Amino acid sequence: MATIQSDTATMHDIPVGTVTFLFTDIEGSTQLLARLRDRYADLLAEHHRLLREVFARWHGREVDTQGDAFFVAFPRAGDAINAVVDAQRALADHSWPDSVEVRVRMGLHTGEPWVVAEGYVGMDVHRAARIAHAGHGGQVLLSETTAALVLDDLPGGVTLLDLGCHQLRDMRRLEHIQQLVIDGLPSNFPALNSLASLPALSSQSAGGNGAREPRSVGPSPYRGLAAFREVDEAVFFGREAFTEQLAGAVHQQDLVAVIVGPSGSGKSSVVFAGLLPALQREGDWLIVSLRPGGRPFHALAGALLPLLEDTLSETDRLIEIQKL
């Protein structure tokens, strides 16, 4: 659980209740330092000035700053979106020394953290930081929670691009991530820095390079068109007996239990909205989700790592995985 102490804003200044967190940092800052040497300090100061002007304009509170990284809190998700759009445009339009590019990755997540004397406390702080870390310079990533809040009120020239579900480091559930696509700025980036991923349910290719076309993400007009998820447990009904049968089968299998069926028969729905909640209520299961791909054991190891103690080295954690 994260506690972030503010040296910049007092605890009386920071938003409370439902808060949108923004984490930013410069991609390749070490290379910029090596290239600019003593002039890097001027670049960093200009970077700070540009971002702080934008944050103040959109009611953002600077919670913490370390080197080239910012942690900012906004009382409204819409203000946070306007801030990152203005910030990316300001960074792109600015004339930097030696014509270098200052590419800043940004991540947003909305939650309800606790506020204590030392600052914010809660997994929402971790989640926002992990989302930012998954991105690349110039890229803005949003959690599903933030995307849902701003979907109907995006600034002009801004759309959302569905990047699918990703397993982020230290996070026990998959995170459905959206990318903010800003007109006039780069929108094609490498794959996210995540441990494992599930692609977006629907994506389109642009040209011959496999890049996905930016699109606006809207709610499904009919609930049955998309598979149920764990959060839909309360409205998933009619297959209780089958769910109980599946749970019993899982208990009887020492190694592997496989659920098979034709496409569209509801395998994903019954697993995520039926079976997994049933197993979680028992409290004796460790549950991870992953897409095996071409290296299934590698993907499995990556999915299991967050379940181990953070104090263990990577080598020891890989050894411990065999005991799970």
List the chain domain ranges.
2-212, 224-321
**What pLDDT sits at residue 76?**
96
**What pLDDT sits at residue 255?**
65
Vertex 58: Cα angle to 55 and 61 (nearest 5): 50
Burial of 10 (0-12, 13-18, 19+ CB in 10 A): exposed
Given a contact cutoff of 8 angstroms between Cβ atoms, the answer to whether 84 and 108 are in contact is yes
Residue range 2-212, CATH number:
3.30.70.1230
Under DSSP, the state recorded for 75 is S
Distance between CA atoms of 296 and 27, rounded to whole angstroms?
30
Given a contact cutoff of 8 angstroms between Cβ atoms, the answer to whether 303 and 288 are in contact is yes
Residues 6+ apart with CB under 8 A from 211: 188, 205
Burial of 298 (0-12, 13-18, 19+ CB in 10 A): middle
199-to-8, 15, 25 alpha-carbon distances in Å: 39, 34, 26
Over its length of 324 residues, how does the chain's per-residue pLDDT go in tens digits? 444 444 455 556 788 999 999 999 999 999 999 999 999 999 999 999 999 999 999 999 999 999 999 999 999 999 999 999 999 999 999 999 988 999 999 999 999 998 887 778 889 999 999 999 999 999 999 999 999 999 999 999 999 999 999 988 888 788 999 999 999 999 999 999 888 777 665 443 333 444 444 444 455 444 555 677 776 777 777 777 887 888 788 777 766 777 777 776 777 888 777 777 887 777 677 777 777 777 777 677 666 666 666 666 666 766 666 665
Angle between helices 29-36 and 40-57 (to 10 degrees): 130
Under DSSP, the state recorded for 53 is H
300-to-8, 128, 169, 241, 288 alpha-carbon distances in Å: 41, 24, 13, 30, 9
**What pLDDT sits at residue 263?**
72
Which among 111, 8, 112, 117 has a CA at the least distance from the CA of 60? Answer: 8
Torsion of CA 156, 162, 167, 171, to 10 degrees: 40
Residues 6+ apart with CB under 8 A from 226: 201, 220
